[in-house]
Amino acid sequence: MKVFGVYGYKNSGKTAVVTSIIRELRRRGRSVAAVKHVSHPDFTVNAPGVDTDLFSKAGARSIGILSDEETTIIYKDKKKLLDMMPFFHSDYLILEGFRQALVPKIITARNSDELEQDFRREVFAISGLVANEISEYKGKKAVPIGKIERLVDIIEEKTFSKIPEIDCKGCGLSCEEMLYAIVEGERTIDDCMTLKQDVKIFIGDREVQLNAFVQRFIKNTITGMLSSLSEYKEDTITITIEK
């Protein structure tokens, strides 16, 4: 799943850009998930007085809603973005407003001043009103919403899987440095040793994320032990431990 963000100041056109991107990706047959960041402290998806609001006010810390068309779980605490990732399974995940997230981003801005003030190193494209005035800034293409096909072409080319954010340094960089290196074209996501996962462990049907060091340790230990067996050869090894 490729993950990228769209951020910008209030009224800079973020939501219009995100919805246009979703429509164009769907037109191309891609599946899309989207998450919005809300900074308003009193925000709740519960409308006052509805049953789930009453459950919440009575003290329930998580509340579920199931209908024939939708499923919702409301947790009454703040989760990290990374905690939400396992719930999304699509070709693309778009994050609206997650300024600090370690993902490549599109900035939306109304004018050049806003663009200059708010520009971040992980930006790979520019949109919003400012893209009607300029075609490029700091080497990144500016594409107005009216040319959404061009913007989505750039998205398809420049975005990649979520960097794990475990700073194992298996690639020789921190996760943040790796993000910048990929956006700047010096590395690719295939250089992340953790995502490469040549060692996989499943507990039940859930895959355990292993950093590069642990993968290397397990691989060297197991192949070292098995190499003395007469059946041993260089091939994929599968070990299953029954409960």
Q: Which stretch binds ligand SF4 (CB under 6 A): 9-17, 148-156, 167-175, 224-232?
A: 167-175
Q: Give whichever of 188 and 220 is closer to ligand SF4, judged by the CB atom.
A: 188
Q: Give whichever of 153 and 176 is closer to ligand SF4, judged by the CB atom.
A: 176
CB of 194 to ligand SF4, least distance (A): 4
Binding to ligand SF4 by residue 148, rule CB under 6 A?
Answer: no
192 with 204: CB under 8 angstroms?
no
Q: Which stretch binds ligand SF4 (CB under 6 A): 15-23, 160-168, 198-206, 229-237?
A: 160-168
Binding to ligand SF4 by residue 183, rule CB under 6 A?
Answer: no
179 with 105: CB under 8 angstroms?
no
- Token output for 237: 């090894």
Q: Alpha-carbon distance 96 to 180, whole Å?
A: 19
Alpha helices in the chain (DSSP H): 14-27, 51-57, 81-84, 112-118, 148-158, 175-183, 193-196, 212-226
Sign of torsion, CA 110 115 118 121? Answer: positive
Q: Which residues 196-225 are close enough to bind ligand SF4 by CB under 6 A? A: 212
Pick from 143, 192, 210, 215: which binds ligand SF4 (CB under 6 A)? 192
Q: Give whichever of 142 and 175 is closer to ligand SF4, judged by the CB atom.
A: 175
Binding to ligand SF4 by residue 168, rule CB under 6 A?
Answer: yes
Pairing of strands 92-96, 2-8: parallel
Site residue total, ligand SF4 (CB under 6 A): 16
Q: Give whichever of 34 and 189 is closer to ligand SF4, judged by the CB atom.
A: 189
Binding to ligand SF4 by residue 193, rule CB under 6 A?
Answer: yes
Q: Give whichever of 145 and 210 is closer to ligand SF4, judged by the CB atom.
A: 210
Pick from 88, 154, 167, 197: which binds ligand SF4 (CB under 6 A)? 167
Question: 224-242 burial, b for 16+ CB within 10 Å, e for fewer?
Answer: eeeeeeeeeeeeeeeeeee
Q: How many CB atoms lie within 10 A of CB 207?
A: 12
CB of 192 to ligand SF4, least distance (A): 3
Nearest by Cα to 29 from 95, 91, 93: 91
Per CB under 6 A, residues contacting ligand SF4 are: 163-164, 166-171, 173-175, 178, 192-194, 212
